[in-house]
Amino acid sequence: MYKLGVAFRKWIEFKMANDKFWIENGAEVIFSGPDVPEEGEHKVMSYIRRMKAEDPDWSKRGLRHIFYGLDADLIMLSLVTHEKNFMLLREKMSVRHSRGSKPKDPINYVREDFELLEVALLRKMLALQFRGLNEDVELPFELKLDRLIDDFVFICMLIGNDFLPHLPSLDIADGSLNLMMSTYKDLLPVMGGYLTHKVSIHRPRLEIYLQAISQKEPLYFQHRAQEEKNPEMGGANYKDVYYQSKFGWAPEETEKRREVVEDYITGLYWNLEYYHNGVRSWEWYFPHLYGPLLSDLVNLASINATLTPGRPFTPLMQLLSVLPAQSGSLLPEPYRQLMVDELSPLAPFYPDDFETDLNGKRNSWESVVKIPFLDEKKMMDSLTVIDHKRELTPKERLRNACGSERVFRVKPAA
């Protein structure tokens, strides 16, 4: 990635100097490479937020924004910008089928097959979902599309994303999104307002909403018990069975269930911050492989959801955190030894073998990978033993340096 970043910068400089189209149109390119912390799409979000803060009329200029990629997060991020001219360019993908449906013959797409998702049209479709709501029931608050969209993005977090697991009884393949949206629409008059306001959560309303959709939870586990041929999972004690099988907790260990609920709610706050403002905490992660049960998300007002800022990892630390030991050759030798040496304090975090759990899903790539979470303190302590100046080459030290985004502009003619 370091070499790719260098090549990209050289390519941009070449295009700025030689490409007639770039030159005549005064191209400006902002390049943020792998040495700059944060995910690529969130770097774009940071740019949009920065431009809006610097220029109040920026959104009125008719600018067009295009995200390229298949990550579903791109849809949610483009929605929360509330920009009117946002599009997603995506490769076409084969259709996924819900449970019980028979797949049709696969479609063989080629690399030139793309589709364009108009986020403005998606906004209109979401608006249609709530058309006439004020006519049927008088709402005690003003209905605003931007607020509805923010709540929609928040609701989608419950199905799971890169940072939080899905809540067990919610599966997009089973139509959970339809259930969640119809329940939300029905409860708006009862709740008397929105679930979120940017990065804040109205917890009493959220609790009303969560308990309403949790009514389907026993039925979900009954169906799952039939599919997995596990009668206990569908019985009256399904909650005990779930926490015992997934967390290893005995029925009487209810305080541990509360801990996972508190961690989950904290995670919702972290996600809202990340979507709307950027990284609030570089230290936070959800420390469980599975989510809590919907029916246990109660007494939310008493939860103390705190996030400490921390600071981002260096590039080599990031790779050490996510790569398996089999990819250790991509790291400097002292780092690789921390992964493969049996005497290394980090060795237990890189097991040679591990289990996977479909956890109610059908596709192997949806499985929960049961490997331990890397202990950040142990990693940091282990890295202090490495003499980076002596044991790492100059190139390796360059790879480990945190950089900053660079702006390239066409040079004016002499």
- Would you list the domain boundaries of the chain? 130-312, 317-409
For the stretch 157-195, pLDDT in tens is 999 999 999 999 998 888 899 999 999 999 999 999 999
Complete DSSP assignment for 275-293: HHTS-S-SS-----SSPPP
Position 95 pLDDT exceeds 90:
no
C-alpha 156: how far from chain center: 10
Mean pLDDT of 91-107: 57
H helices of 64-167, where?
73-81, 119-129, 133-136, 145-157
Quick one: pLDDT at residue 84? Answer: 87
- CA 90 to each of CA 44, 63, 69, 160: distance values in angstroms, whole numbers, following the listed order: 17, 20, 5, 21
CA distance linking residue 22 with residue 112, whole number of Å: 24
Confidence (pTM): 0.92
Residue 106 is predicted with a pLDDT of: 55
Tens of pLDDT, residue by residue over 289-348, are 999 999 999 999 999 999 999 999 999 999 999 999 999 999 999 999 999 999 999 999
